[in-house]
Amino acid sequence: MFKDEILENEKRRRIYALIEASPGIHLRELQRILNMPLTTLEYHLSYMARKKILFAETEGHHKRYYTKPLDPEDKKVLAALRQKRMREIVLIILANGKAKYQLLADQLKLSHSTLSSYLKCLVSNNILVKDKIGYENLYTIRDEDRVAKVLIAYKPSFLDRLVDNALDIWMETHFRKEAPKPS
């Protein structure tokens, strides 16, 4: 069966379009946005995955869906950026180039245990690097170019002004560093 034939069904077409617009979206988010019964949604997702027009990947407690295979490292970054608080942490660090733990705690108004949990996850997924300077932890992004590339590629699916602001700042500083110096 061809993709066009599979997507003749209106529900499958709506599901596919949403996943295409928001790669890495998880099951419950799909259900909330589409306002579709969970069993119906699971049936169509399973059918499209069997026909190989969707790709499903389980990560922790979330099953994420994609319309095309992504690079494994991009997938890790996208999965983290799909979570609002982790996205905020990454964006603050991206905009500043680096951030101390206390700066993140002050800006995000999260409990220390919650912030530590998010940071630990981002470090263990190789998105952030943690350096200890004296008694303070300093966080930087391991691969700024990859994070920026993922943010730019999937920017419309985030619907977040913070993404726009952080990308503007990053692009301004990043390209200023690379610009040739006048002789």
Query: Residues 18-47: pLDDT tens digits?
Result: 998 888 888 888 999 999 999 999 999 999
Among candidate residues 86, 127, 124, 81, the one with its CA nearest the CA of residue 108: 86
pLDDT (0 to 100) of residue 148: 87
Torsion on CA atoms 155, 18, 75, 42, rounded to nearest 10: 160
Class of the CATH-defined domain 71-183: mainly alpha
pLDDT (0 to 100) of residue 143: 93
Q: How many CB atoms lie within 10 A of CB 144?
A: 15
- For 130, phi then psi, to 5°, come to -110, 125
pLDDT tens string 99-157: 999 999 999 998 999 999 999 999 999 999 999 988 899 999 999 999 988 888 777 76
pLDDT (0 to 100) of residue 53: 92
Q: Is the pLDDT of residue 165 over 80?
A: no
pLDDT (0 to 100) of residue 28: 87
Its CATH architecture, for the domain 3-69, is Orthogonal Bundle (1.10)
Q: How many CA atoms lie within 13 A of 46 on its CB side?
A: 6
Mean pLDDT, residues 48-76 taken together = 85
Predicted model pTM: 0.67
Number of helices and strands in the chain (H, E): 10, 6
79 token code pair: 């999965």
pLDDT (0 to 100) of residue 151: 83
Instruction: Flag the least confident range among 56-60, 93-97, 156-160.
Output: 156-160
Q: Is the pLDDT of residue 172 over 80?
A: no
Q: Is the pLDDT of residue 181 over 60?
A: no
Domain with CATH 1.10.10.10 in the chain: 3-69, 71-183
Give dist(CA 81, CA 74) in Å, integer: 10
Classify strands 55-59 and 25-26 as parallel, antiparallel or unpaired. Answer: unpaired
Helix 84-96 to helix 101-108 angle (10° resolution) is 130
Among candidate residues 28, 43, 16, the one with its CA nearest the CA of residue 82: 28
Q: Is the pLDDT of residue 164 over 70?
A: no
